[in-house]
Structure 1
Amino acid sequence: MPDTVRYVAIGDSFSEGIGDAGAVPFPGWTGRLASGMARAHDADVRYANLAVRGRLLAGVLGEQLDAALALDPTPTLITFCAGGNDLLRPRFDAHALIAPLEAAVATVLGRGVRLALLSPADPSARLPLGRLINARGDAWADALADLADRYDLPFVDVSRDPHLRRAEFWSDDRLHMNATGHQRVADLALHAIEDGPAPIEPASEQTGRTRLSEELRYYREHVLPWVQRRVTRRSSGDGRSATYPAWTPVD
């Protein structure tokens, strides 16, 4: 690992860090990864995060990638994790999405910047239409893994981690990870990208029956607002900008 790291994350709500309410300097798996790199290697780490919730793949590549490469000084590392919002749309084609991403990979590598790919976390275990979401997530993870293999890129298959489908890693909306989940992903990423220590295996899952009142509250507070946004063609990220648009020192 070089003595100076300039790390920028691009993506959607997962990379933005939604759901992480932990008491850390930089929330979300990307911020936790930046802190982990600084801690593990005693390196000078600068961090930027251009991810915005609700963004589709086209928005990430069309807006955030150019902004990432325009940072001064140039990044030394970019993490890409997007596509999760695309697979929730009525029409989803993993092969059609991978073509523009491959062009972006060539652009990043042509600039001499390291690039790591991550598959989105899989929330399907407790969501409506979970089987469909899971099948689409597997197809997207396969496409990302193949792309990473062809270009010899670090790849973190978050969606098929054997533990991350468990309820204990997810926030109340069941769509975004909580602090525990974000830390698990940061540990996986540090191991894959920077040859950090292998993540500690979580304890056995504690299962319990969900009460009907909890299910009704979940649908009322989270599912119905999501459906309303889809019907009105609004996004949770409308009007939002990047959390860390410029280089920020990581102690």
Structure 2
Amino acid sequence: MGPVRYVAIGDSFTEGVGDEDAAGVPRGWADRVAGGLAGAAGEPIHYANLAVRGKLLADVVTDQLDAALALDPAPTMITLNGGGNDMLRPRTDLARLGELTAHAVRRCADAGVRLVLISGADPSGGLPLGRVVNRRAAALTAMVRDLADRHRLTLVDVFGDTEIRRPGYWSEDRLHLAAPGHMRTAGLVLDALGVRGALPALGAATEVRRGVTAELAYYRTHVLPWVGRRLRGHSSGDGRPAKYPAWTTLPAPSPGG
């Protein structure tokens, strides 16, 4: 495979929210992909994760991408996902999101860094106004697919994965994937990169039943606080640093481990 220096940029999806370890630190699909790449390489790799929850796509393809390309030594691969928070705003300029993604494509091409585009999983089945979110996300995914085709880039279409839409793959807030969802996403990414068998086989997601009491608790616990943050102009990522802003060395798994 040659040297692997992998950087993940994005929002909560890439940070790993919903897939926290025992200490409460998000792991997520990108961390799992990095581990799979280390196993496939058979030697340590360099990994950084600059994603921060709540960030808009403009933040991802400017501040985060600048930081990724400034790492020394330079990255060999960057994964990019973003736009999910933009689509939760009352108004979304989809054409602008396409332009921002194209900007990232050009910058990575100029830097000689492989860019892998990731479309986010579709949460719309469990969300208020889910049809609006689905329509916007489908349009953005189509634009990203066109970019990938024109520039011969790898696109991992998690949005188009119907299995991951099942409630058992999602956390209680219905907006972020739970551990099974992040594991499935990692498997899709590694498959697209030609790395197979790096993760344990994943069984079917647990079925989730939602009654009236559960719906009321959901709105009280998750929807109303989210609306309150929007009204105050706050983001869940305000003041939050990236979890791996500099190169972290991941060792290759030991044989049989």
TM-score (norm 2): 0.91
Structure 1 residue 202 displacement after superposition:
5.9
Superposed displacement of residue 10, structure 1: 0.5
Quick one: distance in 1 between partners of 2:205 and 2:63? 40
2: distance between equivalents of 1:22 and 1:156?
25
Q: CA deviation at 1:210?
A: 1.2
Contact between 2:167 and 2:208, CA under 8 Å: does it hold in 1? no
Q: Give the corresponding residue for 1:225.
A: 225
Show structure 1 runs of 5+ residues with no match.
Answer: none
Deviation at 1:160, TM superposition (A): 1.3
* Offset, 1:104: 1.9
User: Which residue in the other structure is 2:254 paired with?
Assistant: none
Unaligned runs of 5+ in 2: 252-257
Q: Note if contact 1:22-1:179 (Cα within 8 Å) is conserved in structure 2.
A: no
> What do the CA deviations read for 1:113-159 (whole angstroms, capped 9, x no partner)?
11000111111111101111111111111011111111111101111
SS in 2 for 1:125: helix
Question: Post-superposition shift, 1:162?
Answer: 1.6
- 1:73 equivalent in structure 2: 73
Cα separation, 2, equivalents of 1:75 and 1:111 = 10
Answer whether contact 1:10 1:78 (CA < 8 A) is retained.
yes
Structure 1 residues 204 and 247, CA gap change in structure 2 (3 angstroms): closer
Task: For 1:208 and 1:235, locate their aligned partners in 2 and report how far apart those are by CA, in whole Å.
Answer: 29
Q: What does residue 17 of structure 1 align with?
A: 16
Q: Is the 8 A contact 1:46 1:248 kept in 2?
A: yes
Contact 2:17 2:26 in 1 (8 A): no
- Give matches, 1:19-168, under 5 Å: 19-22=18-21, 27-168=27-168
Q: Is residue 79–residue 117 contact of structure 2 (8 Å, CA) maintained in 1?
A: yes
Partner residue, 1:185: 185
Range with bigger deviation, 15-24 or 138-147: 15-24
- Cα distance in 2 for residues equivalent to 1:239 and 1:21: 20
**How many Å apart are 1:201 and its aligned residue?**
8.3
Report the RMSD for the aligned CA atoms in angstroms: 2.0
SS in 2 for 1:156: strand
Q: Count residues in correspondence.
A: 249
2:238 paired residue number: 238
TM score, norm. by length of structure 1 = 0.93
Give the Cα–Cα distance (whole angstroms) in 1 for the partners of residues 154 and 137 of structure 2.
19
Give the AA of the match of 2:166: R
Distance change (3 Å), C-alpha of 1:131 and 1:21: same
- Does the C-alpha gap of structure 1 residues 100 and 165 become closer, same or farther in structure 2, counting only changes over 3 Å? same
3-state DSSP of counterpart to 2:53: coil
In the other structure, the counterpart of 1:249 is 249
The residue type equivalent to 1:30 in the other structure is: A
Q: Is the 8 Å Cα contact of residues 15 and 28 (structure 2) preserved in structure 1?
A: yes
Identity percentage of aligned residues: 53
* Residue 5 (1) aligns with residue 4 (2): yes
Task: Measure how far apart 1:227 and its partner are.
Answer: 0.3
Give 1:223's aligned amino acid: V
Distance 1:178 1:207, change over 3 A: closer
Provide the secondary structure at the position in 1 that maps to 2:214.
helix
Q: How has the CA–CA distance of structure 1 residues 152 and 235 changed in structure 2, closer, same or farther, with 3 Å as cutoff? A: same
2-structure distance, mates of 1:14, 1:32: 13
Aligned-partner Cα distance in 1 for 2:40–2:34: 10
Q: 1:133 aligns to what SS in structure 2?
A: helix
